Amino acid sequence: MSKGKYYPKAPKGPKGAQGMMKQLQQVQKQMAEAQESLAQETVEYSAGGGMVKVVADGQQGIKSISIDPQVVDPEDVGMLEDLVLVAVCGALEQSSALAEERMGGLTGGLGIPGL
The pTM of this model reads 0.68
pLDDT digits (tens, 9 = 90+) for 39-64: 899 999 999 999 999 999 999 999 99
83 contacts 48 by C-beta, under 8 angstroms: yes
The strand pairing partners of 47, in sequence order, are 52
87: how many CB neighbours lie within 10 A of its CB?
26
Domains of the chain: 11-104 (3.30.1310.10)
Instruction: Identify the band that residue 10 occupies on the pLDDT scale cut at 50, 70 and 90.
Output: low
Nearest to 54 by CA among 82, 89, 81, 78: 89
| pLDDT for the residue numbered 101 | 86
What's the number of CA atoms in the CB half-sphere (13 Å) around residue 71?
A: 17
